Chain A
Protein backbone atom coordinates (compact mmCIF):
# COMPACT_ATOMS: atom_id res chain seq x y z
CA UNK A 1 0.00 0.00 0.00
CA UNK A 2 1.33 3.42 -0.93
CA UNK A 3 2.41 5.72 1.89
CA UNK A 4 0.15 8.78 1.84
CA UNK A 5 1.44 10.84 4.77
CA UNK A 6 4.94 11.33 6.12
CA UNK A 7 6.23 13.48 8.96
CA UNK A 8 9.92 14.30 8.78
CA UNK A 9 11.44 15.35 12.10
CA UNK A 10 14.71 17.22 11.60
CA UNK A 11 16.80 17.88 14.71
CA UNK A 12 20.34 17.47 13.40
CA UNK A 13 22.61 20.30 12.40
CA UNK A 14 25.00 18.20 10.33
CA UNK A 15 25.20 18.29 6.56
CA UNK A 16 24.58 14.63 5.83
CA UNK A 17 21.42 14.40 7.94
CA UNK A 18 20.00 17.70 6.74
CA UNK A 19 20.72 16.67 3.14
CA UNK A 20 19.08 13.25 3.50
CA UNK A 21 16.05 14.73 5.21
CA UNK A 22 15.67 17.31 2.44
CA UNK A 23 16.08 14.73 -0.33
CA UNK A 24 13.52 12.37 1.18
CA UNK A 25 11.03 15.14 1.95
CA UNK A 26 11.26 16.79 -1.46
CA UNK A 27 10.87 13.59 -3.46
CA UNK A 28 7.99 12.39 -1.29
CA UNK A 29 6.26 15.74 -1.62
CA UNK A 30 6.49 15.94 -5.42
CA UNK A 31 5.31 12.32 -5.62
CA UNK A 32 1.96 13.30 -4.20
CA UNK A 33 2.60 12.26 -0.61
CA UNK A 34 1.44 14.67 2.12
CA UNK A 35 4.63 15.75 3.86
CA UNK A 36 5.00 17.67 7.11
CA UNK A 37 8.50 18.65 8.22
CA UNK A 38 9.06 19.55 11.86
CA UNK A 39 12.24 21.53 12.49
CA UNK A 40 13.77 21.53 15.96
CA UNK A 41 17.01 21.63 17.93
CA UNK A 42 20.17 22.15 15.88
CA UNK A 43 18.34 22.30 12.55
CA UNK A 44 16.44 25.50 13.28
CA UNK A 45 19.16 28.20 12.97
CA UNK A 46 19.85 27.24 9.35
CA UNK A 47 16.35 28.37 8.41
CA UNK A 48 16.80 31.97 9.49
CA UNK A 49 16.61 34.19 6.39
CA UNK A 50 20.03 34.53 4.86
CA UNK A 51 21.66 31.85 7.02
CA UNK A 52 24.14 29.84 4.99
CA UNK A 53 23.43 26.23 4.11
CA UNK A 54 26.87 25.31 5.31
CA UNK A 55 26.62 23.00 8.32
CA UNK A 56 29.53 20.91 9.56
CA UNK A 57 30.00 17.49 7.99
CA UNK A 58 29.90 14.27 10.01
CA UNK A 59 32.36 12.60 7.69
CA UNK A 60 34.01 12.66 4.31
CA UNK A 61 30.74 12.27 2.44
CA UNK A 62 29.48 15.56 3.77
CA UNK A 63 32.44 17.29 2.20
CA UNK A 64 31.78 15.51 -1.09
CA UNK A 65 28.26 16.92 -1.14
CA UNK A 66 29.88 20.34 -1.41
CA UNK A 67 32.70 19.54 -3.79
CA UNK A 68 30.38 17.62 -6.13
CA UNK A 69 27.94 20.54 -6.05
CA UNK A 70 24.85 18.62 -4.95
CA UNK A 71 21.88 20.93 -4.45
CA UNK A 72 21.95 22.24 -0.89
CA UNK A 73 19.36 21.15 1.66
CA UNK A 74 17.69 24.55 1.88
CA UNK A 75 17.02 24.55 -1.84
CA UNK A 76 15.54 21.06 -1.62
CA UNK A 77 13.32 21.94 1.35
CA UNK A 78 12.05 25.04 -0.44
CA UNK A 79 11.23 22.95 -3.52
CA UNK A 80 9.36 20.46 -1.34
CA UNK A 81 7.11 23.37 -0.40
CA UNK A 82 6.98 25.05 -3.80
CA UNK A 83 6.48 21.97 -5.96
CA UNK A 84 4.94 19.50 -3.56
CA UNK A 85 2.94 21.56 -1.09
CA UNK A 86 4.95 20.23 1.86
CA UNK A 87 4.58 22.05 5.17
CA UNK A 88 7.64 23.05 7.17
CA UNK A 89 6.83 23.76 10.82
CA UNK A 90 9.43 25.20 13.18
CA UNK A 91 9.40 24.01 16.78
CA UNK A 92 8.18 26.83 19.02
CA UNK A 93 10.32 25.62 21.92
CA UNK A 94 13.48 25.59 19.82
CA UNK A 95 12.76 29.11 18.53
CA UNK A 96 12.26 30.33 22.07
CA UNK A 97 15.43 28.76 23.45
CA UNK A 98 17.53 29.90 20.51
CA UNK A 99 16.07 33.42 20.68
CA UNK A 100 14.91 33.30 17.08
CA UNK A 101 11.85 35.33 16.07
CA UNK A 102 9.43 33.55 13.74
CA UNK A 103 9.37 36.43 11.29
CA UNK A 104 13.11 36.05 10.71
CA UNK A 105 12.67 32.57 9.22
CA UNK A 106 12.74 31.80 5.50
CA UNK A 107 9.46 32.56 3.72
CA UNK A 108 8.75 28.91 2.98
CA UNK A 109 8.79 28.02 6.70
CA UNK A 110 5.35 27.94 8.30
CA UNK A 111 3.98 28.94 11.67
CA UNK A 112 5.72 27.92 14.91
CA UNK A 113 4.23 24.71 16.23
CA UNK A 114 4.35 22.99 19.60
CA UNK A 115 4.57 19.28 20.20
CA UNK A 116 0.82 18.89 20.51
CA UNK A 117 0.40 20.40 17.08
CA UNK A 118 3.11 18.19 15.69
CA UNK A 119 1.61 15.06 17.25
CA UNK A 120 -1.71 15.98 15.71
CA UNK A 121 -0.07 16.33 12.29
CA UNK A 122 1.77 13.05 12.77
CA UNK A 123 -1.27 11.02 13.75
CA UNK A 124 -1.49 8.05 11.39
CA UNK A 125 1.57 9.09 9.39
CA UNK A 126 4.97 7.50 9.07
CA UNK A 127 7.53 9.49 11.07
CA UNK A 128 11.12 9.72 9.90
CA UNK A 129 13.68 11.35 12.18
CA UNK A 130 16.98 12.90 11.09
Chain B
Protein backbone atom coordinates (compact mmCIF):
# COMPACT_ATOMS: atom_id res chain seq x y z
CA UNK B 1 0.00 0.00 0.00
CA UNK B 2 1.27 3.45 -0.86
CA UNK B 3 1.71 5.99 1.89
CA UNK B 4 2.71 9.62 2.22
CA UNK B 5 4.43 9.58 5.60
CA UNK B 6 6.09 6.91 7.70
CA UNK B 7 6.18 6.74 11.51
CA UNK B 8 8.53 4.31 13.21
CA UNK B 9 7.03 3.79 16.68
CA UNK B 10 8.92 0.59 17.41
CA UNK B 11 10.14 0.43 21.00
CA UNK B 12 7.73 3.12 22.18
CA UNK B 13 5.22 2.31 24.91
CA UNK B 14 1.68 3.61 25.31
CA UNK B 15 0.77 6.43 24.89
CA UNK B 16 3.67 7.53 22.69
CA UNK B 17 2.60 5.75 19.46
CA UNK B 18 -0.74 7.56 19.56
CA UNK B 19 0.82 10.91 20.45
CA UNK B 20 3.42 10.60 17.69
CA UNK B 21 0.72 9.59 15.22
CA UNK B 22 -1.37 12.61 16.15
CA UNK B 23 1.65 14.86 15.63
CA UNK B 24 2.39 13.27 12.24
CA UNK B 25 -1.22 13.60 11.09
CA UNK B 26 -1.28 17.26 12.04
CA UNK B 27 1.34 17.97 9.37
CA UNK B 28 -0.50 16.02 6.65
CA UNK B 29 -3.25 16.90 4.19
CA UNK B 30 -6.73 15.39 4.15
CA UNK B 31 -6.69 12.09 2.23
CA UNK B 32 -2.99 11.42 2.75
CA UNK B 33 -1.93 8.09 4.25
CA UNK B 34 0.29 7.57 7.29
CA UNK B 35 2.06 4.26 7.87
CA UNK B 36 2.87 3.41 11.49
CA UNK B 37 4.98 0.50 12.69
CA UNK B 38 4.68 -0.29 16.40
CA UNK B 39 5.79 -2.99 18.79
CA UNK B 40 3.36 -1.98 21.54
CA UNK B 41 0.85 -4.78 22.15
CA UNK B 42 -1.85 -2.28 23.03
CA UNK B 43 -1.49 -0.35 19.80
CA UNK B 44 -3.98 -2.56 17.92
CA UNK B 45 -6.90 -1.58 20.12
CA UNK B 46 -5.49 1.91 20.58
CA UNK B 47 -5.41 2.78 16.88
CA UNK B 48 -8.86 1.28 16.32
CA UNK B 49 -10.25 3.50 19.09
CA UNK B 50 -8.21 6.52 17.98
CA UNK B 51 -9.60 6.32 14.45
CA UNK B 52 -13.13 5.75 15.68
CA UNK B 53 -12.86 8.80 17.91
CA UNK B 54 -11.10 11.15 15.50
CA UNK B 55 -12.68 10.20 12.18
CA UNK B 56 -9.40 9.26 10.55
CA UNK B 57 -9.75 6.02 8.58
CA UNK B 58 -7.88 2.87 9.57
CA UNK B 59 -7.22 1.39 6.13
CA UNK B 60 -5.44 -1.73 7.36
CA UNK B 61 -3.61 -3.31 10.24
CA UNK B 62 -1.27 -6.28 10.06
CA UNK B 63 1.04 -8.13 12.43
CA UNK B 64 4.30 -9.86 11.60
CA UNK B 65 7.16 -10.85 13.89
CA UNK B 66 5.64 -8.92 16.81
CA UNK B 67 5.48 -5.72 14.77
CA UNK B 68 2.15 -4.07 14.07
CA UNK B 69 1.71 -2.03 10.90
CA UNK B 70 -1.14 0.42 10.48
CA UNK B 71 -2.20 2.54 7.52
CA UNK B 72 -4.26 5.59 8.52
CA UNK B 73 -5.96 7.92 6.05
CA UNK B 74 -6.20 11.45 7.37
CA UNK B 75 -9.73 12.78 7.48
Contact = CB atoms under 8 A, between A and B. Distances in A.
A21 to B, nearest CB: 12
Nearest to B18: A27
B49 A30 contact: no
Interface in B15-29: 15-16, 18-19, 22-23, 26
A83 B16 contact: no
B16 A32 contact: no
Contacts of A68: 13
Nearest to A22: B15
Interface in B28-74: 46, 49-50, 53-55
Interface string A1-43: 0100000000000000000000100110011110000000000
A2 B26 CA distance: 22
A33 B50 CA distance: 11
Interface residues of A, number: 15
A76 interface: yes
Interface string A80-97: 000110000000000000
Interface residues of B, number: 15
Nearest to A4: B53
Nearest to A32: B54
Contact of B15 (A2, A32, A76): A76
A79 B22 CA distance: 10
B61 to A, nearest CB: 17
Nearest 7 A-B pairs (CB), nearest first?
A30-B22, A31-B53, A27-B15, A32-B54, A83-B22, A23-B15, A79-B19
13 contacts: A27-B46, A30-B50, A31-B53, A33-B53, A68-B13, A70-B13, A71-B16, A76-B15, A76-B19, A79-B19, A79-B23, A83-B26, A84-B22
